[in-house]
Amino acid sequence: MLKYLYIPLFTIMLGCKGESTQSNYDYIEQAHPVYYKHDLSAQNAIYQREINVHMDMLFHEEKYEIGDFQLLGSWFGKIRNNWISLNITSTSNHMLRGFIITDTLFHSFKGLFNTQDNIHYDLEITQDIDTNLRLYTLQLSLEDMTMSGVSKLFDDRDQDSLVLEKRNYEYDVTLGTYPEFSQRLITNSELEELSKDELVYITEEILAKHGLIFFNNETREMFSHKKWYIPQNYRVSQLLTEKEKLNLDKIYTFF
């Protein structure tokens, strides 16, 4: 067996005993759509830079099929009542690196993995939680593309079970209820036929396709049920296409 590595309306709290919270009060999602150039808190700007480094590693290892590249990507599901995206971004010499987004909270992790058949893997992951450690003991199957196991704080006997499914990092202009807003420029007359609620949803859908982390509970819950959504960015302005930016800018003038 592998050994553990010792190594927006309200502030969102990670619902796990003993874990501290981060301040994520970056913007408010109410009757107005999220602005794609919204400001980030200093802490989340730091996290976004870390995420960018992780994603660069992931795309490099996938492109050149480095290490156990089949493990790379987002494994998505729930732990207790919180959505969790466990992102493996590097594999080398039976070691793992990556980051976890739990609802709106970011944590990096390191870990170990082992396999007998290159299909079924045992993983031990250590996630930093400020003054404590969260440990994950997981089994990953490339047969059904699932990851399951338990998680616990290092000094706590209570365990949380979790089952995660693989989600792929693939931007696709055909996704969503309103794919045309990513495919072509929308006219003002077309926008005038839509309600403000529809315009808010369209804005969120465009941003969701690029993995925006939503601070509004209802919005986050809605998109987390969509197989193509992977929350992985506090800001996505650098990822939007020019068509999407122009369409968003038109939408914002309606509010």
> Which structural domains are found in the chain, ordered by start?
42-167 (2.40.128.120), 180-252 (1.20.58.1690)
- Lowest mean pLDDT of 91-95, 126-130, 203-207, 230-234, name the range: 126-130
User: C-alpha 26: how far from its chain's center?
Assistant: 17
Q: How far apart are the first and last CA of the chain?
A: 57
Residue 130 pLDDT > 80: no
Mean pLDDT of 124-131: 86
The percent of residues above 90 in pLDDT, for the chain, comes to 84
Tell me the angle at which helices 196-208 and 217-224 cross, rounded to the nearest 10 degrees. 60
